[in-house]
Structure 1
Amino acid sequence: MPPLMGDLPAFRVGDPAPAFARVGVDFFGPLAVKRQRKREKRYGCLLTCLSTRAVHIDLAHSLGTDSFIIAMRRMMARRGKTKLVCWDNETNLRAGERELCQSLQRWNQAKIADTLSQEGVEWKFNPPAAPHFGGVFERLVRSAKRALSTVLGDRVVDDETLRTVVTEFEALLNGRPLTHTAGFALWT
């Protein structure tokens, strides 16, 4: 007997909505950039449309509350208004990403929720010990990190080059087929 699968959350399969009306958010990094003679850290902010699985990647200069709100506002200016933001509690990060986890726990989540509620955005956290709830965006973070490490390796680039590379990865991820393509005939 095949195992029973749980139902997808209602916000993923509910009423049809425009792309990026419901998004999942996750951060990855830190990414090193050079600025004059010193190195600084940047973080990738990956926003995934929960219904179409389209991706928007933006760079945040820090893991502070204001930096996230600015990245979110840039995404809404380009992709349209968001109604629901879904994010895990970040307690499931591995030890190698400890710095990211500690910074995210220091966020002023009340300020984020207040700012987004003024825009009419609902804020939803996944359960703390359930990484499978964020599988939609966790897998895309892995793809983005793998592409970055393949192209950049250990090189440290400037902000403009990093932004260009991240935007090209966004296009690469959005160009992937979302359905099985082996059964389609090719016309010549």
Structure 2
Amino acid sequence: MQGRPYRPNIVPPLPEFRMQCKQPFNTTGVEYTITLWVKGKGPNPEKAYIILFIYPITRGIQVELDDNQSCDLFLMSLRKFCSRRGFPALMLSDNTTTFVAVSEYLKTISENPRVKEHLLDIKCNWKFIPARAPWFGAIWERLMGLLKLCLKKIVGQALLSFEELTCILVELKGIINDRPLSYMPGDLNQLEILTSNH
């Protein structure tokens, strides 16, 4: 009887980088997503870390696997990514409270003189999204959720080698980038599905 009508939250406008029609990989998000155990050289399993490169405009992903979170290995992953997809003008990384450890690590990496020098060479600007602003990283969270779901269904509790896991991640990247996004305009009788790989 005394309740007031529900007033939905006002959603802020989309950031400019999501609205500008530029090259597909001009803006890229990066995040360490999942820590997995792989077969080690000895009897004990070792950790492996998945680096997820996300394209907010095309909603595609690129996946890399590292065996530790060192600056040198991240720099090599970044160089591999740039060699395959081109140099992004803007790199974004997550900065929410749930990923404090990862964002602090990424801040440390981006402050490293070698990484700064490399980013200046390729004219890349690195920004952290604001904390407690889920609309900035909603696409990334969704794509990470898809990747985790696929990994859970394929790998389950199995302990794979680093090479086997790398192979599975490359296959999953292809599957996720082939998911339908929309229909391409054209003949109604022969509609073609638009995917991230287009």
Query: For this structure pair, what is the TM-score category when the shorter chain's length is used for normalisation?
Result: 0.7 to 0.9
Match of 1:53 among 42, 48, 59: 59
Of all paired residues, the percent bearing the same amino acid is 28
Match of 1:142 among 145, 169, 172: 145
Summarize deviations over 1:83-103 as a string: whole Å, max 9, x none. Answer: 11011224333xxxxxxx535
Quick one: distance in 1 between partners of 2:12 and 2:35?
34
Q: Unaligned stretches of 5+ in structure 1?
A: 94-100
Distance 1:113 1:139, change over 3 A: farther
Quick one: distance in 2 between partners of 1:57 and 1:9?
24
Match of 1:21 among 18, 26, 30: 26
Distance 1:134 1:120, change over 3 A: same
1:45 touches 1:60 (CA, 8 Å); kept in 2? yes
- Which residue of 2 is the match for residue 157 of structure 1? 160
TM-score, length of structure 2 as denominator length: 0.80
Summarize deviations over 1:60-97 as a string: whole Å, max 9, x none. Answer: 2222222222111111111112111011224333xxxx
1:57 touches 1:167 (CA, 8 Å); kept in 2? yes
Deviation of residue 126 (structure 1)?
A: 0.5
Deviation of residue 38 (structure 1)?
A: 2.6
Show the 5 A alignment for 1:5-154.
5-14=11-20, 16-36=21-41, 37-93=43-99, 101-102=100-101, 104-106=103-105, 107-111=108-112, 112-154=115-157
Quick one: distance in 2 between partners of 1:85 and 1:67?
17
- Which residue of 2 is the match for residue 97 of structure 1? none
| Superposed structure 1 runs of 4+ greater than 6 Å apart | none
1:63 touches 1:103 (CA, 8 Å); kept in 2? no
2:110 touches 2:126 (CA, 8 Å); kept in 1? no
TM-score, length of structure 1 as denominator length: 0.84
Which structure is higher in RCO with an 8 Å CA cutoff and minimum separation 6? 1
State which drifts further: 147-156 or 81-90.
81-90
Distance 1:160 1:91, change over 3 A: same
1:86 touches 1:125 (CA, 8 Å); kept in 2? yes
Distance 1:3 1:124, change over 3 A: same
2:96 touches 2:130 (CA, 8 Å); kept in 1? no
Deviation of residue 136 (structure 1)?
A: 1.6
Quick one: distance in 1 between partners of 2:47 and 2:25?
27
Deviation of residue 54 (structure 1)?
A: 1.4
